[in-house]
Amino acid sequence: MNGFLVIDKPSGMTSHDVVAKVRKRLGTKRVGHAGTLDPMATGVLVVGVGNATKLLQYIVDGTKSYEGTIALGASTHTDDKEGDLTFTADPTKLSLITDAQIREKINSFVGTIMQKPSAVSAIKIDGKAAHQRVRDGEVVDLPARETTISKIDIHSIEHADGAILVAVTVDCSAGTYIRAIARDLGDLLEVGGHLTSLRRTLVSPFSLRESGDIESIERADLIDTAIGIARVLPTRDLDFEEMTEISFGRSVTANPANGIYAALSPTNTFAALLENKDLGGKVAATPKLVAVQE
């Protein structure tokens, strides 16, 4: 049993909870996920089953799209609504914040920027997730890292009692934290900010439109590994002789271009990942990963 599932993760479940549920429903242990979603968040979680688990790293790297709501006027230790309050803005100062100021500051995040991840994240420090270190009472200060935010659209700005609610859509690269955008927007406006809702609508090229409910997922919902990886990587076909060569880890005729190719068997199943290498003056496609043929 091999392939990808696109799950619409419900709120309250961790990404690992989803993996455990898929294992139980499909009766297999070889299950993994691409790109962690916080328990509060909902939306697209791509799950790999069987040999597709080894390809999830190429899914993780895809462009992400999110819909979220930022609450200005307070900060929390998790940068979202599930955390403890660490700061509350003066109501008078909050009332002076204009829509134009919000739009100006949020637009400053668009582009390639250095973003400091939330302390409560899945980033590992010496093998232990940052969020677990925070829960254990440790003080975590993660260094800023480069990320690209290609677009932030503001859909509405609501001036509510004690808060300003900003509904946004964000298109960004892997490794971008929407909670950090909420936090940093609040810092720039000097009123604090945190995330109150988050829904992932795209892990390119897999979208919410093709997602399914975790409670009703079945084997028939699997996107075949060959079909799924062809949406992410260029492909090439192998003949039976080449299949034999790669099964022994040997090189075959070079790929049409440089970069990683997904190689498909004569029966159109996923066979291997191949990458061109110069082998003593001759370029050939060398296996990076060979799938077990079932």
Please report the domains of the chain, with CATH numbers, ordered by start residue. Answer: 3-62+204-227 (3.30.2350.10), 64-200 (3.30.2350.10), 235-290 (2.30.130.10)
Residues in the chain: 294
Is pLDDT of 87 > 80? Answer: yes
Compute CA distances 155 → 42, 165, 169, 255, 268, whole Å: 19, 11, 8, 45, 44
| Contact predicate 112/148, CB 8 Å | yes
Q: What is the pLDDT of residue 117?
A: 84
Q: What is the pLDDT of residue 281?
A: 83
Query: Which of 29-33, 131-135, 142-146, 261-265 is predicted least confidently?
Result: 131-135
Min mean pLDDT across 1-10, 76-85, 117-126 is at: 117-126
pLDDT of 30: 92
Please state, in angstroms and rounded to a whole number, the distance separating the CA atoms of residues 119 and 88.
Answer: 19
- Residue 5 is predicted with a pLDDT of 96
Annotate 254-275 with b (16+ C-beta within 10 A) or e (fewer): bbeeeebbbbbbeeeebbbbbb
* pLDDT band of 121, cuts 50, 70, 90: low
Helix (H, G, I), strand (E, B) or coil at 237: strand
**What mean pLDDT is predicted for residues 67-80?**
94
Q: Are strands 235-237 and 260-264 parallel, antiparallel or unpaired?
A: parallel
Mean pLDDT of the chain: 91
Lowest mean pLDDT, pick from 96-110, 134-148, 210-224, 252-266: 134-148
Is residue 138 predicted with pLDDT exceeding 70?
Answer: no
- From CA 52, how far away is CA 63, in angstroms rounded? 19
Residue 136 pLDDT more than 70?
no
17 annotated active-site: no
Between strands 252-253 and 85-88, the pairing is: unpaired
What was the pLDDT predicted at 118? 77
Please give the average per-residue pLDDT across 58-82, as a whole number. 93
Q: Which helix (H) or strand (E) element contains residue 243?
A: helix 240-247
Confidence of residue 199 (pLDDT cuts 50, 70, 90): very high
pLDDT confidence tier of residue 1, bands split at 50, 70 and 90: confident
Residue 190 near residue 75, CB atoms below 8 Å: no
Burial environment of residue 122 by CB neighbours within 10 A (0 to 12, 13 to 18, 19 or more)? middle
Q: What is the pLDDT of residue 21?
A: 94
Range scoring the smallest mean pLDDT among 6-10, 131-135, 177-181, 253-257: 131-135
The first and second tokens of residue 202, run together, are 């795209």
Catalytic, out of 17, 38, 80, 278: 38
Give me the amino acid identity at 213: D
**In the chain, what is the straight-line distance between the N-terminal and C-terminal CA atoms, in Å?**
9
pLDDT band at 134; cut points 50, 70, 90 = low
